[in-house]
Amino acid sequence: MIEVKNLDYTYPCGHGLKKLSITIRSGEFIGLIGPNGSGKSTFLKNLYRELEPDEGSIVLAQKELSTYSYRESALLMGVLSQHHECAYDYTVYEMVEMGRTPYRESSHDPVRNAKIEFALKQVGIESLCEKSFSALSGGEKQRVLLARAIAQDTPILLLDEPTNHLDIYYQIQVFQLVKSLGKTVIAAIHDLNIASMYCDRLYVMNEGKIIQEGSVEEVITQEMIQKIFHVPSLIVPHPQTKKPAVIYLEERENV
């Protein structure tokens, strides 16, 4: 379980997180939704320790996150961030095998190599193994980084807009794959229909605060979309899943 209490973080510009509290149960698929700049990425960065909170606590497996070593954190949480930059010209295989670094395994360890091969196969990038990571398209890089997170084989996955640069086919494939792994997942998601299809619960963020939480049925409403995104919409049951599906409407000015 992950328990976050009264988390504060402030950037030099003044934006950040304000008294944010969340409790996430093991095995849940949690979606963070909200407009750009609402704090979704900042919250995830505090979880995976790229940023350090000003105040508040993050408790992971009944232990304060700050008391874990970075290696211990990496054995619990895999991360897919928005950024693809890499300082060196690694191959795709080398990028994916980095997911096994926290385990300190021999390169000949059969478990290590099986985990890497599983990740490559699941994401469908076996044919890219010898290619330079820096030469890939944005979508291919995103899939490689997802494979690295899968190879890391942690109980928790933190995903910051995991379908950036991906076409519709791969967007669906990524979420189906992540859901099938049965891990605790916290994902920042822009596509409300994707969030509705795959998430167990949603947290709506705005201006660094959690302003609403609940099941997809409770959260994805015309009122929420109008209030948070300032867009008129129609909510209908998905023909297969019966979950809320969002149809966006044009705003019509009075003439």
CA 254 to chain centre: 40
Tokens representing 226 are 């109008």
- CA quadruple 179, 185, 191, 194: dihedral, nearest 10: 20
Q: Annotate 88-144 with DSSP letters as a single string.
A: S--BHHHHHHGGGGGG---TT-HHHHHHHHHHHHHHT-GGGTTSBGGGS-HHHHHHH
* Residue 159 one-letter amino acid: L
Strands 29-33, 16-24: parallel, antiparallel or unpaired by DSSP?
Answer: unpaired
CB atoms within 10 A of CB 254: 3
- CA quadruple 32, 196, 192, 167: dihedral, nearest 10: 100
* pTM tops 0.85: yes
Residue 254 has pLDDT above 70, yes or no: no
pLDDT digits (tens, 9 = 90+) for 50-107: 999 999 999 998 999 999 999 999 999 999 988 777 778 899 999 999 999 999 999 9
pLDDT digits (tens, 9 = 90+) for 138-175: 899 999 999 999 999 999 999 999 988 889 999 999 99
Mean pLDDT, the chain, rounded, equals 94
pLDDT digits (tens, 9 = 90+) for 11-41: 988 779 999 999 999 999 999 999 999 999 9
Q: Annotate 186-205 with DSSP letters as a single string.
A: EEE-S-HHHHHHH-SEEEEE
- Residue 79 has a pLDDT of 95
